[in-house]
């Protein structure tokens, strides 16, 4: 406790860090306030059916990512997921299209790619906005209410939903630039945490009131299990495979190994972090968002098959997408040839491996070997809520029992703490942990 108080005092002493934290809190408060601003023309008291729809299934995940804005019919109802979907498409183009590959290597090109991502986000929003209104109209009719009639309401509400999501994206970018942590990930984290207290409270009440639920003992076992899964998620996020590197020096016209110059290349077991799960989740959302425009019996059976987040086929496809995106994102983040060239440029080499092409191939082999089990472990944790729900755990709490929610919370919290620790160490204060520097998804020490 004394260590924590002293750390908080140190954080307050660093003006830049203090300002960044206050700016982050301010932007988060704006986001939370906006999630309760209902679209004009909609009666908030008539949203009970929408709340019931978002209590389970794929809609519950949409509502969780938006921090409850989806079920509130808020101006922020579409949240940040359209931007994530656009980012997936642009990153795929950066791999497959040579023009995008070239732009990715230049600062001006990366700015253009970011602009293209925004344009694509707007295009996705123009599709998802009317889709959201169609679904909202169906839910309101179940309670005897209705949306205002006329094309102007559809156009104005779609514009507001698009503007709301773009504003949320802007808030995320401002948090990244002027606050602490990755802003987009932080926005998602805030939405998840907003649902966590009520989920725990509902599970506690369910265990106490349900005669066959096991009572308080079951709730305690669930909390212990939650902590164990959290520890496993932290191990996954922080896991590193160290590849030894030896540096050489020029001596009498010959390159000889420099004594005491041995170092390591930290290769993450899960270098992609939570992005494969976010990408896979976004892909699963897209067809379901389009279904209201093409209503038919076939679509209804499709929704029943893939709209149930605890169903076998949904989780199988979800797990396969996570594994594929883990390899894809790792290929984008880690470039073995670049690492090999950097080692060669600095007179470094991996013992018993020739510099150049063989070093790149060796690093690529190591990455493939550690990424495969890492992706499998990531997929298992992602589908764990579906497994946990089979044991009588309420779906609201099961969403946090592993899965997307837990991994995002662990990954984003570690990244944010790593940035705070970097500021502390830069100003010659002790870090947050006595056992060593915090490692976020980058896998690099805070030093």
**What pLDDT, in 10s, does the model give residues 42-61?**
888 777 777 776 666 666 66
Domains 16-195 and 214-447 share a fold: yes
Give 26's pLDDT tier (boundaries 50, 70, 90): very high
Secondary-structure class of domain 214-447 per CATH:
mainly alpha
Q: What is the reported pLDDT for 259? A: 46
Q: What is the reported pLDDT for 212? A: 63
Q: What is the reported pLDDT for 434? A: 53
Give 292's pLDDT tier (boundaries 50, 70, 90): low
Give 30's pLDDT tier (boundaries 50, 70, 90): very high
How far is C-alpha 18 from the geometric centre of its chain's CA atoms?
Answer: 25
Q: What is the reported pLDDT for 10? A: 77
Q: What is the reported pLDDT for 211? A: 61
Q: What is the reported pLDDT for 283? A: 77
The mean pLDDT of the chain is 78
Output 163 or 135, whichever has higher pLDDT: 163
Q: pLDDT digits over 160-212, tens only?
A: 999 999 999 999 889 988 888 788 888 888 888 887 888 888 888 888 777 66
Query: Is pLDDT at 159 greater than 90 in this prediction?
Result: yes
CATH number of 16-195: 1.10.3370.10
pTM: 0.74
Sketch the domain layout of the chain as residue ranges: 16-195, 214-447
């Amino acid at each position: 406790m004394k260590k924590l108080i002293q750390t908080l005092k140190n954080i307050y002493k660093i003006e830049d860090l203090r300002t960044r934290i206050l700016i982050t809190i301010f932007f988060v408060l704006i986001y939370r306030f906006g999630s309760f601003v209902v679209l004009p023309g909609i009666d908030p008291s008539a949203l009970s059916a929408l709340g019931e729809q978002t209590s389970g299934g794929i809609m519950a995940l949409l509502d969780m990512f938006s921090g409850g804005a989806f079920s509130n019919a808020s101006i922020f109802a579409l949240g940040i997921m359209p931007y994530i979907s656009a980012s997936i498409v642009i990153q795929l183009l950066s791999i497959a299209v040579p023009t995008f590959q070239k732009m990715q290597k230049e600062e001006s090109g990366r700015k253009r790619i970011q602009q293209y991502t925004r344009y694509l986000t707007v295009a996705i929003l123009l599709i998802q906005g009317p889709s959201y209104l169609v679904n909202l109209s169906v839910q309101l009719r179940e309670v005897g209410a209705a949306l205002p009639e006329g094309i102007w309401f559809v156009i104005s509400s779609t514009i507001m939903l698009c503007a709301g999501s773009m504003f949320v994206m802007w808030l995320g970018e401002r948090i990244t630039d002027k606050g602490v942590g990755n802003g987009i990930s932080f926005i998602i984290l805030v939405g998840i945490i907003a649902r966590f207290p009520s989920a725990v409270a509902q599970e506690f009440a369910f265990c106490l009131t349900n005669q066959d639920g096991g009572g308080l003992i079951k709730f305690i076992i669930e909390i212990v299990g939650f902590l164990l899964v959290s520890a496993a998620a932290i191990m996954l996020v922080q896991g590193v495979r160290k590849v030894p590197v030896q540096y050489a020096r020029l001596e009498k016209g010959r390159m000889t190994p420099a004594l005491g110059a041995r170092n390591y290349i930290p290769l993450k077991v899960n270098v992609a972090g939570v992005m494969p799960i976010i990408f896979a989740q976004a892909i699963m959302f897209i067809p379901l968002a389009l279904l209201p425009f093409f209503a038919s019996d076939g679509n209804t059976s499709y929704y029943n098959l893939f709209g149930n987040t605890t169903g076998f086929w949904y989780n199988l496809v979800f797990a396969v997408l996570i594994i594929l995106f883990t390899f894809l994102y790792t290929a984008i983040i880690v470039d073995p040839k670049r690492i090999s060239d950097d080692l060669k440029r600095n007179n470094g080499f991996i013992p018993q491996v020739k510099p150049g092409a063989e070093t790149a191939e060796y690093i690529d082999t190591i990455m493939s070997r550690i990424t495969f089990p890492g992706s499998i472990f990531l997929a298992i944790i992602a589908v764990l809520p579906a497994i946990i729900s089979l044991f009588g755990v309420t779906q609201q709490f099961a969403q946090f029992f592993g899965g997307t929610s837990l991994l995002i919370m662990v990954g984003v919290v570690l990244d944010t703490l790593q940035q705070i620790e970097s500021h502390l160490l830069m100003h010659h204060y002790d870090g947050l942990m006595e056992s060593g520097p915090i490692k976020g998804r980058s896998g690099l020490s805070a030093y």
